[in-house]
Amino acid sequence: MSRVVVAKRVDRGDADLTEISDLARAAGYEVVGELTQTREEDAAFHFGEGKVGELASLVAREDAVAVVFDNRLGPYQTYNIAQKLPDDAEVIDRFTLILEIFGQRANTRKAQLQVELAELRYELPRAEAKASLAKRDERPGFMGLGEYDESREQDIKAQISRIKNELDAIADKEETRREQRRESGFDLVALAGYTNAGKSTLMQRLAADLEVGQNDELHPDLDPTAESQDKLFTTLGTTTRRAETGKRDVLLTDTVGFVSDLPHWLVESFKSTLDSVYRADLVLLVVDASEPVEEMREKLVTSHDTLYERNEAPIVTVFNKVDKVEAEELEEKRAALSALAPNPVAVSGLTGENVEELADRVEGELPAWKRERLLLPMADDTMSLVSWLYDHAHVEAEEYEGEQVHVEFEARPAIVEKARAKAADLSAPTDSA
């Protein structure tokens, strides 16, 4: 396991290295040292030059192969810092690290395309910087940024265009599949929230075909099972399962977790995955209730900014991991966050505490069903229609009276309309002479 030092600069206050350390470990690194600085950004080194010297000493002392910065570094800052470090020590900024993790987790064609798109969008301004310097200074490879290739910038733009077109085609197919699921009577519920909030464990608790801790493939036509490891970005793609919530047929989708301080270009690169959230009928926003209240507040604000930009579905906030929180502390957090999370559901995906309450809340928050009563003739296709209603709606009564069948049911409005059309197509039996 490669040894790294993590570092962070902040303009004011104290720098928190918890998340960047978790991210580094998620990428497979061993964190062997830490360094922080509170000061305004230095244009040449990001940190102060003296602090970079201190960083170089730490890297040498700990025999680290890289420094992972919880900051976004410019190409010149990256070069300048690398020049101060021991030979072969690498400089990795926050977004390079996240892209590295994404690349490790990309197991589907869509995920691989999204990672490639994000990498290209990250590289484009650097290619443009090389071009600008080469033209201005007429020195290829100026400041160690690499040989200037006149065609590289255009190649990147062409690749971005190609990948976006392929992702758009995948998104169209997924939208068609979502509509087919709705037409089959399913409500679509998405799990959203930060990494390590416990979304995958909660999904396993709600899913009809999973046990908590189970990580096996269940059927070749189903998506891979959501994992529940204590690891960031375990779920990069989407995982969909049928959920047990009550009388309604619910498909629950777990998606990639949010991470703080992501630039717009990186979020946009994963828009195809986030469409599973934006186009759901209901969103469960999962928050780790064991975190400090200010951290919960910050994550709720960022999550709302991400969700409300495009999402139209109702959002239910879920305070997860309540098994780690005392009742009094939980009530204090409820009160402190009531403006951001009115009437949250407090659960433990690990122990199952209050999961039934969450299932009831899901049923109550989903788009209203319509109640319908059909009087059907005993025709050749009548029983097929009754069977179809059991598959696509919640049938409350089925009665036979002479040559007629009375069926009472609740369903999505689209299913009710389709049932009415099917009923109108039934022909009454003809009398035989």
254 is in an annotated binding site: yes
257 is in an annotated binding site: yes
- For residue 276, is pLDDT > 80? no
Tokens of 200: 């995958």
322 is in an annotated binding site: yes
Query: Average pLDDT in the 177-187 region?
Result: 79
Same domain? 45 vs 194: no
Same domain? 263 vs 306: yes
Q: pLDDT at position 275, please?
A: 75
Quote the percentage of the chain above a pLDDT of 90.
Answer: 37
Q: 212: buried, middle or exposed (CB in 10 Å: 19+, 13-18, 0-12)?
A: middle
Tokens of 128: 């443009």
CB-facing half-sphere around the CA of 169: CA atoms within 13 A: 7
Tokens of 383: 């029983």
Same domain? 404 vs 353: no
- For residue 225, is pLDDT > 50? no
Q: How many Cβ atoms sit within 10 Å of the Cβ of residue 294?
A: 9
36 is in an annotated binding site: no
- Could you tell me if residue 433 is inside a domain? no
352 is in an annotated binding site: no
53 is in an annotated binding site: no
Q: How many Cβ atoms sit within 10 Å of the Cβ of residue 259?
A: 20
3-class secondary structure for the chain? CCEEEEEEEECCCCCCCHHHHHHHHHCCCEEEEEEEEECCCECCCECCHHHHHHHHHHHHHHCCCEEEECCCCCHHHHHHHHHHCCCCCEEECHHHHHHHHHHHHCCCHHHHHHHHHHHHHHHHHHHHHHHHHHHHHCCCCHHHCCCCCCCHHHHHHHHHHHHHHHHHHHHHHHHHHHHHHHHCCCEEEEEEEECCCCHHHHHHHHECCCCCCCCCCCCCCCCCCCCCCCCCCCCCCCEEEEECCCCCCEEEEECCCECCCCCHHHHHHCHHHHHHHHCCCEEEEEEECCCCHHHHHHHHHHHHHHHHCCCCCCEEEEEECHHHCCHHHHHHHHHHCCCCCCCCEECCCCCCCCHHHHHHHHHHHCCCCEEEEEEEECCCCHHHHHHHHHHHCEEEEEEEECCEEEEEEEECHHHHHHHHHHHHHCCCCCCCC
246 is in an annotated binding site: no
CA-based max dimension of the chain: 105
- Could you tell me if residue 98 is inside a domain? no
Q: Which residue has the higher pLDDT, 268 or 82?
A: 82
Is residue 260 within 8 Å of residue 116, measured between CB atoms? no
- Could you tell me if residue 418 is inside a domain? yes
199 is in an annotated binding site: yes
Query: Average pLDDT in the 200-220 region?
Result: 59
Lowest mean pLDDT among 261-275, 299-313, 319-333, 341-355: 261-275
Q: What's the domain range around 27?
A: 3-92
311 is in an annotated binding site: no
Q: pLDDT at position 227, please?
A: 42
Quote the percentage of the chain above a pLDDT of 70.
Answer: 82
pLDDT band at 232 (very low <50, low <70, confident <90, very high): very low
350 is in an annotated binding site: yes
- For residue 161, is pLDDT > 90? yes
- For residue 347, is pLDDT > 90? yes
Q: What is the count of structural domains for the chain? A: 4
Q: What's the CATH number where 83 sits?
A: 3.40.50.11060
Tokens of 316: 């239910």
48 is in an annotated binding site: no
- Could you tell me if residue 292 is inside a domain? yes
Same domain? 202 vs 130: no
Lowest mean pLDDT among 98-112, 153-167, 255-269: 255-269
Same domain? 298 vs 226: yes
Question: What type of residue is 78?
Answer: T
Mean per-residue pLDDT of the chain:
82
Kindly tell me the sign of the dihedral angle through the C-alpha atoms of 127, 131, 134, 137.
negative
pLDDT band at 87 (very low <50, low <70, confident <90, very high): confident
194 is in an annotated binding site: yes
Mind listing the pLDDT tens digit for each residue in 12-61? 999 999 889 988 998 899 999 999 999 999 999 999 999 999 999 999 99
Same domain? 111 vs 201: no
Same domain? 186 vs 163: no
348 is in an annotated binding site: yes
418 is in an annotated binding site: no
Same domain? 353 vs 209: yes
Q: Which residue has the higher pLDDT, 428 or 200?
A: 200
Same domain? 76 vs 213: no
Q: How far, CA to CA in Å, does 407 sit from each of 182, 187, 372, 395, 414?
A: 21, 22, 8, 7, 17
197 is in an annotated binding site: yes
255 is in an annotated binding site: yes
Q: pLDDT at position 186, please?
A: 83
Q: Which residue has the higher pLDDT, 175 or 155?
A: 155
Its pTM stands at 0.66
Q: How far is the C-alpha of 19 from the C-alpha of 77, rounded, in Å?
A: 22
Q: Which residue has the higher pLDDT, 392 or 282?
A: 282
Same domain? 189 vs 121: no
pLDDT band at 309 (very low <50, low <70, confident <90, very high): low
Q: pLDDT at position 138, please?
A: 52
